[in-house]
Amino acid sequence: MAGTHVTVLLEEAVAALEVKPDGTYVDATFGRGGHSRAILARLGAAGRLLAFDRDPEAVAVGRGWDDARFTLAHAPFSQLAEVARAHGVAAADGILFDLGVSSPQIDSAERGFSFRHQAALDMRMDTTRGMSAAEWLNGAPEEEIARVVRDYGEERFAKSVAKAIVAARALEPITTTRRLAEIVAGAVRTRERGQDPATRTFQAIRIHVNRELEEIADALPDALDMLRPGGRLAVISFHSLEDRLVKRFMRDESRGEELPPEIPVTGSTADQGRLRLVGRAIRPSAAEVARNPRARSAVLRVAERTRVGAREGVCSS
């Protein structure tokens, strides 16, 4: 049903944060509030939760909550640092990201995310700003469309898709999801069993229009800077491009300074990074996937902030 959202890896993600009753936490992707509600249930009266979402519909849900410990900002998580400062949050004990598109966004036909519904081709997570998918698709050069579809959709027929889109828009602007899906279906010669020919192209355009990978790349360093020593960074991703970014970031930040081998180091923290990896990647159980098939591709990665490079005054408890 449109508007419903089943929170993925709810218990696992919140448990990974090791919520302290008097701690300060950030839910960088409020959605419909599943993770936020669970965090608040673990916080005491002195605790605080700052949540973000760029979707006006999600913000409308959160604005209805009456809890003095809770603040919701209508902003993308790439603005994490500046928005947190504006709300008086200089440091956090835990930050959670639940990446990608939400079920209400997919299921609401008017949002234009899905090829399964006939709707205006929008795809913006924040409908109050930015260029819609139709605006971009009808103006972008063929080479740019091919690159986006190839890189963000991992579509092997990206050139054919781009060529077909440019040819079709020359006759009439592409403004609906169904027309785009039909154009792509004619350009994609084969597809994996059970997958619609338009799946990869729609994913690619959505990622591009919302700058999803750039948002992640911008936000993760700020999140790390905000964390107190011992604070947890937990990130749920849903496709390989997201997970690759998260995995590489955590891995690189878990490594210490690489010194030349001829320099002797004794009793130094040079071999320690700013993050310590916590366990292995966590995936949904078979029971969760059976209840919610959209959870099947989810991956949760967790890391803990060390004292290496901690800024004075920000990382104190």
Q: Where are the domains of the chain?
A: 10-103+212-305, 128-209
Residues at the binding site are 33-35, 53, 77, 98, 105
Mean pLDDT value of segment 28-37: 92
Residue 6 scores a pLDDT above 70: yes
Task: Decide whether 10-103+212-305 matches 128-209 in CATH topology.
Answer: no
Q: What is the pLDDT of residues 59-105, one digit of tens each?
A: 998 888 999 999 999 999 999 999 999 999 999 999 999 997 765 55
Q: Is the pLDDT reported for residue 271 higher than 90?
A: no
Which fold does the domain 128-209 belong to in CATH? DNA polymerase; domain 1 (1.10.150)
Question: 1.10.730.10, 3.40.50.720, 3.40.50.150, 3.40.50.1370: which CATH number matches 10-103+212-305?
Answer: 3.40.50.150
Q: List, in order, residues 6 or more apart from 301 with CB less than 8 Å away.
A: 234, 235, 237, 243, 246, 247, 250, 281, 282
Residue 165 C-beta-side C-alpha neighbours within 13 Å: 35
Q: What is the mean pLDDT of residues 178-197?
A: 85
For residue 300, pLDDT over 50 is answered with: yes
Instruction: Judge whether 68 and 96 are in contact, CB under 8 Å.
Output: no
pLDDT in tens, 275-297: 999 999 999 999 999 998 888 88
Model confidence band, residue 256 (pLDDT cutoffs 50, 70, 90): confident
Cα(189)–Cα(196) distance, rounded to whole angstroms?
12
Enumerate the known binding-site residues for S-adenosyl-L-methionine: 33-35, 53, 77, 98, 105
The 10 Å CB-count burial string (b at 16+, else e) for 127-162 is: beeeebbbbbbbebeeeebbbbbbebbebebbbbbb
